[in-house]
Homo-oligomer: A and B are copies of this chain.
Amino acid sequence: MNFEYSDKVKEYMERLEQFMRDYVYPNERLYEEQLDSQSSRWEAVPPVMEELKKKAKEEGLWNLFLPHSENGAGLTNLEYAPLCEIMGRSLIGPEVFNCNAPDTGNMEVLDRYGTDEQKERWLRPLLDGEIRSCFSMTEPDVASSDATNIEALIERDGDSYLINGTKWWSSGAGDPRCKVAIFMGKTDKEAPKYEQQSMILVPLDTEGVTIERMLPVYGYDHAPHGHAEIQFSNVRVPKENLIWDEGKGFAIAQGRLGPGRIHHCMRLIGAAERALEDLCKRVQSREAFGKKIADQGVVQEWIADSRIEIEQARLLTLKAAYMMDTVGNKVAKKEIAMIKVVAPSLALRVLDRAIQAHGGAGVSDDFTLAAQWANARTLRLADGPDEVHRRQIARLEMANHKEG
Residues of A participating in the B interface, judged by any CB pair closer than 8 Å: 1-6, 9, 78, 138, 140, 142-146, 149, 168-169, 215-221, 227, 276-277, 280-281, 283-289, 293-294, 296-301, 303-305, 307-308, 311-313, 315-316, 318-319, 322-323, 326, 334-335, 338, 341-342, 355-356, 359-366, 370-371, 373-374, 377-378, 380-381, 385-391, 393-395, 397-398, 400-404
Contacts and interface: CB of A to CB of B under 8 A. Distances in A.
Given A6-B1, A394-B300, A401 B277 contact: yes
B297 A387 contact: yes
9 contacts: A3-B319, A3-B323, A219-B370, A227-B360, A227-B364, A300-B394, A304-B390, A304-B394, A312-B313
B338 A308 contact: yes
A165 to B, nearest CB: 16
A220 B403 CA distance: 29
A136 B293 CA distance: 23
A170 to B, nearest CB: 11
Number of copies: 4
A400 B276 CA distance: 11
A374 B300 contact: no
A285 B307 CA distance: 32
Interface centre among A311, A355, A363, A395 (most CB of B within 10 A): A363
A276 B388 CA distance: 20
B401 A281 contact: yes
A402 B282 CA distance: 9
Given A218-B370, A307-B397, A401-B281, A359 B338 contact: no
A180 B386 CA distance: 48
A326 B322 CA distance: 22
Contacts of A322: 1-3
A142 B1 contact: no
A363 B374 contact: yes
Given A3-B323, A296-B387, A398-B280, A381 B403 contact: no
A337 B391 CA distance: 27
Given A219-B374, A299-B387, 20 more contacts: A138-B359, A149-B287, A149-B288, A168-B360, A216-B364, A217-B219, A218-B374, A219-B220, A219-B221, A281-B403, A297-B301, A298-B300, A300-B394, A301-B390, A304-B341, A304-B397, A305-B390, A308-B393, A356-B387, A360-B378
Interface centre among A220, A283, A397 (most CB of B within 10 A): A397
Contacts of A377: 355, 363
B360 A169 contact: yes
A368 B374 CA distance: 15
A86 B307 CA distance: 28
B359 A144 contact: yes
Contacts of A380: 356
A222 to B, nearest CB: 9
The CB with the most chain B CB atoms within 10 A, among A308, A341, A342, A398, is that of: A308
A-B pairs, top 5 by smallest CB distance, nearest first, are A219-B219, A297-B297, A219-B220, A300-B394, A312-B312
A400 B381 CA distance: 27
Contacts of A391: 297, 300, 304
A240 B234 CA distance: 72
Nearest to A305: B390
A293 B394 CA distance: 12
A10 to B, nearest CB: 11
Contacts of A138: 359-360
A219 B371 contact: yes
Given A219-B374, A374-B218, A400-B280, A78 B1 contact: yes
A386 B302 CA distance: 13
B381 A359 contact: yes
